[in-house]
Chains A and B, each alone.
Chain A
Amino acid sequence: MADAFEVDVIDDRAHLRFRDEAAHEEPAVTLDAFLADQSNATAVRVEPGDDARALIPLLDRIALVEVSFPTFRDGRGYSVARILREAGYTGELRAEGDVLVDQIPLMRRCGFDAFAPRAAVDPVVLKRSLERYDHVYQKAADGAAPVWKLRHG
């Protein structure tokens, strides 16, 4: 996994970015607003209780999905990311909120490619975390080959 990242400061918050493209800076609208008013918005914010599947028919209009993590314990956003990537979404997928450094490698595997943690993340610790595991057991959204693939081709 080529997992280099850059740190950008946007609105006073450090963003960790694993994408080549610049951050999508249009403010995100709520999922309800996006679905209701047929707006021209290209950025959507998904809260833990939202049904991300509702976005699937509209993915080609979206450049940023910001997934909210009000608390690090709430893992619903991991499924949101998987669902959107499985549906073919290739735009920016950003985890925002109570995102901890130890969670970022798992979130990467679920398809997140940008992070806006509420509390600053130590890039040295993050780099070490991202490089720590040479192998993974599951096929997920990051394209890493699971060990069963390495074993059997």
Chain B
Amino acid sequence: MYKYDEYDQSIVDARVDEFRDQCRRRLSGELSEDQFKPLRLMNGLYLQLHAYMLRVAVPYGTLDSRQMRMLAHVARKYDRGYGHFTTRQNIQYNWIKLEDAADILAELATVEMHAIQTSGNCIRNISSDQFAGAAADEVTDPRPFAELLRQWSTFHPEFSYLPRKFKIAVIAADEDRAAMRLHDIGLQLLERDGVLGAKVFVGGGMGRTPMIAPEIKDFVPADQLMSYLEACLRVYNRYGRRDNIYKARIKILIHELGADKYRAEVEEEFAQVRQLGIDPPAAELARISAMFAAPAFAADDGAVADRSDPDFAVWLDQNVRAHKQPGHAIVTISLKPIGGIPGDASAEQIDVMADLAERYSFDELRVTHAQNIVLPHVRIADLKAVWEALVEAQLAEANLDLISDIIACPGLDYCALANARSIPLAQKIGQRFADLGRQRDLGELKLKISGCINACGHHHAGHIGILGVDRKGTENYQLLLGGSGAEDVSLGKITGPGFDEDGVVDAIERVTDTYVRIRETGERFVDTYRRVGMQPFKEAIYG
């Protein structure tokens, strides 16, 4: 885990002071709402339908028990006793008062946390693989790079008023657990001729114009990465469109220029920028990497989980993954109970997860982009005890990557932009497919719901995606099939005319019934879809 030194702490403390001053000037009328807006957004403070929402950064989704307990404390003291984990590995609170916002930031700063750049037209929280440091397939732990990027992007003097928001993901494995190519910049770390560096993808994104990021550079050595990114961002800052908010993301620039022209512009800029000495020295990466050294794992005791309790066995099969260290396992805690709100956790549940991390997972937790929580380093011998505590806290849903493990945006229940509700629909779908045996028979099936075209619920990347729209004043849901945010990245296609809330649940069931009928051995839903195409599903839905 990264630990702040005096410099990091002084920067975060100064930010609290700055934001307190900005709030004061807003409340006194010195700042207009129009002028205050970008300032509060760069501290994660949104004005929603009913109240302010505060989004707290969880850099690359990694946190310790002390920080997790602070999140519970904020939920209790300043919100209504719960928080909502987001698709950017952050947490947001939906019922915040403007007068409290600076105090919350001050409390967060005591545990090395902040809300810097969780919104606004700037470089957002860096996201990464939730299994970093635990997965056997990684070339290196991506988090030291993510931390370097966090520092580089924090109050970047040139890139704080970009045309639009800017999201960067870093992974270090071929299996993509972070939807890397659906980011403005996606970095895949790899080693070439003994040198660590990154393959750079630029111009992906979801929103109303979804695009898969093309490869812009096949390899940038680690010691030039900041200069290269600075060049990528500068070209965007200079040429990205500012005349139309819906065409302002970098994906549109690259689409309009073409990847080759963009690459050439970046190379020209890079030739200048790399001379400037803006890359931190190797010693800085080494300093950060040392803080992410593997914990002192116990020797493999040969423990095997006792599968005699069938509920425990199902959870093991569904929510527990192999760890690179023998004798250990990676546990994903589902925040998707049937009938619940995807990504929500109560203060009590957050505390339970913090306790479990402290006791069983070397004091580490991760937030996943699928809105779940990971205990990355659990001894196999401890899995039963962890599961029992999760059952007690109603956190033992064994549905990881199944149809009820739904990503959903807050939707019209909270969001000022939404056209339709997402949460009640997620609840209905969960209830329709409540039977865990049936879910497991359907296998891996990633279902994602957005309540408007901005796609915060990642519907384009769902094996099954749902997009809520407003049709003549009533909520209407379009169904998409065949998307993926993983290494087999693809964008879903709309099946046809939309449905009302109950109608879309029925349509999903016709889709899954069709899959069960025509699947070949070993095929996931998305594999079958790719083999047979839309037609059989369309016939089942509309026929």
Residue positions of A touching B, CB distance < 8 A: 48, 72-76, 78-79, 82, 86, 100, 102-103, 106-107, 109-110, 122, 125, 128-129, 132-142, 146-148, 150-152
In the bound assembly, the distance between CA atoms of A100 and B39 in angstroms comes to 11
Contact, CB under 8 Å: A136 / B155: yes
Contact, CB under 8 Å: A106 / B160: yes
In the bound assembly, the distance between CA atoms of A133 and B17 in angstroms comes to 10
Query: Number of residue pairs across A and B with beta carbons under 8 Å?
Result: 106
Contact, CB under 8 Å: A74 / B242: yes
Contact, CB under 8 Å: B272 / A151: no
Contact, CB under 8 Å: B21 / A137: no
In the bound assembly, the distance between CA atoms of A147 and B160 in angstroms comes to 19
In the complex, what residue of chain B is closest to A48 when comparing beta carbons?
Answer: B242
In the bound assembly, the distance between CA atoms of A74 and B419 in angstroms comes to 29
In the bound assembly, the distance between CA atoms of A122 and B29 in angstroms comes to 14
Contact, CB under 8 Å: A132 / B284: no
CB < 8 Å neighbour of B14 from A73, A106, A134, A148? A134
Q: Hey, which chain B residues are within 8 Å of A72, CB to CB?
A: 35, 38, 161
State which residues 271-330 of B face A: CB under 8 Å.
272-273, 276-278, 280-281, 283-284, 287
Contact, CB under 8 Å: A102 / B281: no
Contact, CB under 8 Å: B154 / A137: yes
In the complex, what residue of chain A is closest to B280 when comparing beta carbons?
Answer: A148
Contact, CB under 8 Å: A79 / B237: yes
In the bound assembly, the distance between CA atoms of A86 and B270 in angstroms comes to 13
Q: Hey, which chain B residues are within 8 Å of A125, CB to CB?
A: 21, 25, 30
Q: Hey, which chain B residues are within 8 Å of A136, CB to CB?
A: 11, 155, 157
Contact, CB under 8 Å: A151 / B287: yes
Can you list 28 A-B contacts (CB < 8 A)?
A48-B242, A72-B161, A73-B38, A76-B242, A78-B160, A79-B158, A100-B35, A102-B22, A107-B157, A110-B158, A122-B30, A125-B30, A132-B14, A133-B11, A133-B155, A134-B10, A134-B14, A135-B7, A135-B11, A136-B155, A136-B157, A138-B152, A139-B276, A140-B157, A141-B157, A148-B284, A151-B283, A152-B284
> Residue B394 at the A interface, CB < 8 A?
no
In the bound assembly, the distance between CA atoms of A122 and B280 in angstroms comes to 36
In the bound assembly, the distance between CA atoms of A117 and B185 in angstroms comes to 34
Contact, CB under 8 Å: A148 / B281: yes
How far is the CB of B438 from the nearest CB of chain A, in Å? 50
Q: Hey, which chain A residues are within 8 Å of B273, CB to CB?
A: 86
How far is the CB of A145 from the nearest CB of chain B, in Å? 11
In the bound assembly, the distance between CA atoms of A72 and B36 in angstroms comes to 12
Which 9 residue pairs are nearest across A and B when measured between Cβ atoms? A75-B161, A109-B157, A148-B280, A147-B7, A148-B284, A106-B157, A137-B151, A152-B283, A139-B278
> Residue B18 at the A interface, CB < 8 A?
yes
In the bound assembly, the distance between CA atoms of A146 and B226 in angstroms comes to 13
How far is the CB of B152 from the nearest CB of chain A, in Å? 6
State which residues 1-29 of B face A: CB under 8 Å.
5, 7-8, 10-11, 14, 17-18, 21-22, 25
> Residue B132 at the A interface, CB < 8 A?
no
In the bound assembly, the distance between CA atoms of A152 and B285 in angstroms comes to 11
Contact, CB under 8 Å: B154 / A76: no
Contact, CB under 8 Å: A82 / B18: no
How far is the CB of A69 from the nearest CB of chain B, in Å? 9
Q: A73-B121, A138-B278 are in contact. Are A82 and B234 (CB under 8 A)?
A: yes
How far is the CB of B539 from the nearest CB of chain A, in Å? 49
Q: Hey, which chain A residues are within 8 Å of B278, CB to CB?
A: 138-139
In the bound assembly, the distance between CA atoms of A15 and B39 in angstroms comes to 23
Contact, CB under 8 Å: B10 / A135: yes
Q: Hey, which chain A residues are within 8 Å of B161, CB to CB?
A: 72-75, 78, 103
How far is the CB of B41 from the nearest CB of chain A, in Å? 11
Contact, CB under 8 Å: A151 / B158: no
Contact, CB under 8 Å: B238 / A79: yes
